[in-house]
C-alpha cells in the first residue's frame, strides 16, 4: 500500500496554540547534552520510560522538546480536531481501512480501483492515541523519534538490511552503476540525512514488490518518469494520486488554487535521479532547517507526520497516514537488529512534550533512593569472615559462578594465597563480592587443607601434628582449616580425621 501524503495547507491554527518561539531550531545533533542532563528535562512519568530505554540503549541521549502547544486547550476547540478529518478541510489524518472501527470515522478518504474504500478519515480517538509520544516509548517504536541526520553508524550493509526482501535488495539502480543501497547512502551523505530513513521511506512508499505505476516508467502520458518517494502524489482516487506524483516528477504539476508550478525544475527520468533528487526534496522540505519551508525542522519520523512546531502548526505533514511513524520505526528497528552491537550505538532521540498532555502532570520528581539487593550467600557457610562448605577440588570459575547464582550485577573477585599454584579453590584464598555500593570480603576455608595448596595431603596432617606439639603456630583461615571436627580446638582427633581422609576410610565434612 503506497503512503498518502500532501503538502497543501488547508487550515491555520495560530490562534489555538501558545507561542513556540522558544523551541530550539535544530541544525544537527551537536548541541545536545549528556544523558543525565537531558533526563531532568522530562516530566516524571516520562523519566521512568526513558530510564527503561536507557538500560536498552545505554549510549543514547533522549532530548525533551518542550514548549509545544497546550494539549488540553487544543482538544477543547472542536474546529481544530474536526478539521483534521473532515474531507472538505483536509486529508491530513487518514487511517487504513484495516484499522479497528473506533479509529475510523464514517467518511471515506480514498477508494481503490475496485471502488472500495481503502483509507478513512481518522477518528479523534485514533488521532489522540497516535499523536501522544508517551504511547511509543518502547524498544521498537522509539525509533520514530530518532534523529534523521546522517550518522557514522549508517552503513551500506545497514541500508541493504532494510531493503532485504524487496525489489531493491542487492540490485543495480537503473540510471547508475550503483546498487540501490549505494545510491541511498550517497543521497544521505550528501544531504546530511539518514540513509536508513530514506530506505525505510522507500519501503513504506513502494512496498517490497515495487509494482506502483509511480516507478514503472510506463504510465501513459508520463513514460520515462519516476517518483520513488511519492512526492506530491495525493488525491481522492488512485488515478489522481499517480498522475499528480508523475506530474511532479516531470516538473509540470501546478497548484490547483494558484496555478503556480509546485515541482518546478524536476526532470526525474530515471530511478537514480528520482531517488537522489527526491532525497534532496525530503531533506529541504522536512528534515533540515530553512526559512522557506520549515523554520524548526522535522528531524524525526514523528515530527514529519505531526509538525507540532512548524511555521504553520500541524500544516506541514509529509504523510497522511497517521500510523506511518509506527510502521517506519518498526522497519528501522528491524534493520538495526541485524548488527550485533546496535544497542550500543550513540542514538539521539527527540521526544516532544506537550503542555497538559497525559503523563505530563507530575512535574515534581523526588529522586528515590534505590533499595539495593542485599548480598546473600545461601549455598555456602559463612562464619565470621570465613566462607566454607566448598567442595574439595572446585575450580575458581565454578566457585565464582555458584556465588553469582541469580544475583544480577554481582561481581566476584578471587585472589589466590601464596601457596596456591592451581586454578582450584584453597584455604587462604580471598573472595570479594561487590554489588552497587555493597562490598564484602571472605577468606576461604577448606577443612583439612591446612597449608592452602587446594589438596589434603600428608603435609596437612604433619602441620596439624606440629601445631598440637607447639612447634608450629597456625593462624586465621589456616587455623580454622585444621579444626576439622568443628569443636573450636585443634586436637589429636583433628589429626586422625585428616589421616583417615587421606587413607580413604572417612571423609572430612566441609
| pLDDT single digits (tens) 423-447 | 999 999 999 999 888 889 999 999 9
Question: Which pLDDT value is given to residue 125?
Answer: 87
DSSP 421-433: -SSB--TT-EEEE
450 vs 484: CA distance, rounded Å: 10
Question: Which pLDDT value is given to residue 5?
Answer: 36
Please name the residues in contact with 508: beta carbons below 8 A apart, sequence gap of 6 or more: 447, 448, 456, 484, 497, 498, 501
86, pLDDT greater than 70: no
Q: Read off the pLDDT band of 457 (50, 70, 90).
A: very high
102, pLDDT greater than 70: yes
Question: Which pLDDT value is given to residue 147?
Answer: 85
Greatest mean pLDDT range, 231-235, 302-306, 359-363, 440-444: 440-444
Question: Which pLDDT value is given to residue 64?
Answer: 86
Answer with the residue of higher pLDDT: 496 or 83.
496
Q: Read off the pLDDT band of 371 (50, 70, 90).
A: low
Taking the C-alpha atoms of 359, 360, 362 and 363 in order, what is their torsion angle to the nearest 10 degrees?
150
| Average pLDDT for 269-294 | 76
String of b and e for 254-268 (b: at least 16 CB within 10 Å)? eeeeeeeebbeebeb
Q: Read off the pLDDT band of 88 (50, 70, 90).
A: very low
Domain boundaries, the chain: 1-146+300-368, 381-503
Question: Which pLDDT value is given to residue 25?
Answer: 39
72, pLDDT greater than 60: yes
361, pLDDT greater than 90: no
Q: Give the pairing of strands 348-352 and 61-65.
A: parallel
Tell the residue number behind the cell numbers 506537550, with chain if given: 354
| Average pLDDT for 85-100 | 69
367, pLDDT greater than 80: no
Please write the tens of the pLDDT for every residue from 221-242: 999 999 999 999 988 788 999 9
267, pLDDT greater than 90: yes
Answer with the residue of higher pLDDT: 414 or 11.
414
For residue 321, list its beta bridge partners: 94
4 vs 240: CA distance, rounded Å: 12
- Please identify, in words, the CATH class of the domain defined by 381-503: mainly alpha
Closest Cα to residue 62, out of 146, 126, 164, 152?
A: 146
Beta strands in 55-182 (DSSP E): 61-65, 94-96, 104-111, 117-122
Q: What is the model's pTM?
A: 0.53
* Residue 116 CA: distances (Å) to CA of 108, 240, 242, 311, 338: 9, 16, 18, 36, 38
Pair 189, 195: CB distance under 8 Å: yes
Question: Which pLDDT value is given to residue 348?
Answer: 85
High-pLDDT (> 90) share of the chain, %: 45
For residue 268, list its beta bridge partners: none
79 vs 90: CA distance, rounded Å: 12
420, pLDDT greater than 80: yes
Kindly report the backbone phi and psi dihedral angles of residue 393, in degrees, each rounded to the nearest multiple of 5, phi listed first.
Answer: 90, 5
Closest Cα to residue 497, out of 306, 277, 363, 489?
A: 489
268, pLDDT greater than 80: yes
315 vs 487: CA distance, rounded Å: 85
Q: Read off the pLDDT band of 13 (50, 70, 90).
A: very low
22, pLDDT greater than 90: no
High-pLDDT (> 70) share of the chain, %: 82
Question: Which pLDDT value is given to residue 16?
Answer: 28
Answer with the residue of higher pLDDT: 32 or 251.
251
Amino acid at each position: 500500500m503506497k503512503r498518502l501524503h500532501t503538502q497543501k495547507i488547508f487550515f491555520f491554527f495560530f490562534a489555538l496554540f501558545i507561542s513556540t518561539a522558544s523551541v530550539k531550531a535544530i541544525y544537527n545533533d551537536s548541541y545536545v547534552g549528556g544523558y543525565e542532563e537531558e533526563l531532568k528535562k522530562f516530566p516524571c512519568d516520562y523519566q521512568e520510560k526513558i530510564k527503561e530505554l536507557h538500560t536498552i540503549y545505554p549510549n543514547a541521549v533522549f532530548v525533551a522538546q518542550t514548549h509545544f502547544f497546550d494539549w488540553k486547550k487544543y482538544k477543547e476547540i472542536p474546529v481544530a480536531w474536526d478539521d483534521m478529518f473532515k474531507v472538505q478541510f483536509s486529508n491530513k489524518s487518514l487511517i487504513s481501512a484495516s484499522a479497528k472501527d473506533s479509529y475510523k470515522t464514517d467518511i471515506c478518504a480514498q477508494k481503490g480501483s475496485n471502488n472500495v474504500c481503502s483509507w478513512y478519515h481518522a477518528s479523534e480517538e485514533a488521532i489522540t492515541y497516535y499523536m501522544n509520544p508517551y504511547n511509543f516509548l518502547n524498544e521498537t517504536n522509539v525509533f520514530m523519534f530518532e534523529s534523521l541526520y546522517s550518522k557514522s553508524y549508517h552503513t551500506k550493509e545497514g541500508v541493504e538490511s532494510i531493503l532485504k526482501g524487496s525489489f531493491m535488495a542487492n540490485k543495480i539502480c537503473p540510471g547508475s552503476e550503483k546498487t540501490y543501497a549505494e545510491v541511498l547512502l550517497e543521497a544521505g551523505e550528501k544531504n546530511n540525512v539518514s540513509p536508513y530513513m530514506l530506505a525505510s521511506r522507500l519501503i513504506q512508499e513502494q512496498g517490497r514488490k515495487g509494482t506502483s505505476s509511480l516507478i514503472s516508467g510506463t504510465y501513459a502520458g508520463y513514460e520515462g518518469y519516476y517518483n520513488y518517494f511519492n512526492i506530491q502524489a495525493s488525491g481522492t482516487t488512485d488515478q489522481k494520486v499517480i498522475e499528480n506524483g508523475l506530474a511532479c516528477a516531470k516538473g509540470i504539476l501546478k497548484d490547483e488554487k494558484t496555478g503556480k508550478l509546485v515541482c518546478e525544475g524536476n526532470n526525474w527520468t530515471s530511478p537514480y535521479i528520482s531517488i537522489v533528487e527526491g532525497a534532496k526534496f525530503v531533506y529541504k522540505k522536512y528534515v533540515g532547517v530553512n526559512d522557506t519551508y520549515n523554520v524548526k525542522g522535522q528531524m524525526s519520523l514523528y515530527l514529519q507526520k505531526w509538525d507540532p512546531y512548524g511555521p504553520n502548526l500541524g500544516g506541514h505533514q509529509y504523510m497522511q497516514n497517521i500510523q506511518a511513524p509506527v510502521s517506519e520505526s518498526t522497519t528501522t528497528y528491524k534493520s538495526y537488529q541485524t548488527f550485533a552491537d546496535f544497542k550500543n550505538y550513540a542514538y539521539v532521540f527527540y521526544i516532544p512534550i506537550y503542555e497538559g498532555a497525559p503523563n505530563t502532570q507530575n512535574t515534581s520528581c523526588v529522586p528515590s533512593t534505590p533499595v539495593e539487593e542485599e548480598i546473600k550467600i545461601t549455598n555456602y557457610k559463612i562464619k565470621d569472615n570465613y566462607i566454607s562448605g566448598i567442595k574439595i577440588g572446585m575450580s575458581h570459575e565454578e566457585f565464582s559462578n555458584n556465588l553469582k547464582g541469580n544475583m544480577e550485577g554481582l561481581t566476584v573477585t578471587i585472589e589466590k594465597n601464596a601457596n596456591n599454584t592451581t586454578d582450584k579453590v584453597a584455604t587462604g584464598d580471598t573472595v570479594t563480592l561487590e554489588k552497587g555500593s555493597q562490598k564484602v570480603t571472605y577468606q576461604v576455608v577448606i577443612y583439612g587443607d591446612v597449608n592452602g595448596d587446594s589438596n589434603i595431603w600428608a603435609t596437612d596432617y604433619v602441620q596439624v601434628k606440629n601445631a598440637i606439639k607447639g612447634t608450629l603456630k597456625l593462624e586465621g583461615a589456616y587455623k580454622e582449616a585444621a579444626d576439622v571436627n568443628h569443636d573450636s580446638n585443634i586436637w589429636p582427633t583433628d589429626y586422625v580425621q585428616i589421616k583417615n581422609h587421606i587413607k580413604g576410610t572417612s571423609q572430612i565434612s566441609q
